[in-house]
Amino acid sequence: MGSRTTRQRKAVLRVLSGCQDFVSAQALHALLLSDGGTIGLTTVYRALRDLEADGSVDVVRDDVGGRLYRPRPAGGHRHYLM
């Protein structure tokens, strides 16, 4: 089953692409709201899950186990030392 490209998913990827480092879903949600968006936190999580599943984002864990996201750079999968 393929993921649809929704308006919300495009907004999440657009704002995430403007971040310099890995960010949490909560931080990304706050950025989307400050950018004038009306997206819910659950929708942000859903979009990030779909983007991860299709290989569009990389995910690492922070020191307390939270997930942090960043767009996957051209050239595919990367390994990160945190």
**CATH number for the domain including 15?**
1.10.10.10
Counting every residue, how long is the chain?
Answer: 82
Residue 62: domain span: 7-71
63 belongs to a structural domain: yes
> Are the beta carbons of 62 and 68 closer than 8 angstroms?
yes
Q: What is the pLDDT of residue 62?
A: 92
Per-residue pLDDT of the chain (82 residues; tens, 9 = 90+): 445 678 899 999 999 999 989 999 999 999 999 988 899 999 999 999 999 999 899 999 999 999 999 999 876 555 545 4
What pTM value is reported for the model?
A: 0.82
Q: What is the pLDDT of residue 78?
A: 54
Q: What is the pLDDT of residue 65?
A: 92
77 belongs to a structural domain: no
Give CA torsion, residues 12, 15, 18, 24, to 10 deg: -70
Euclidean distance between CA atoms 11 and 20, whole angstroms:
17
20 belongs to a structural domain: yes
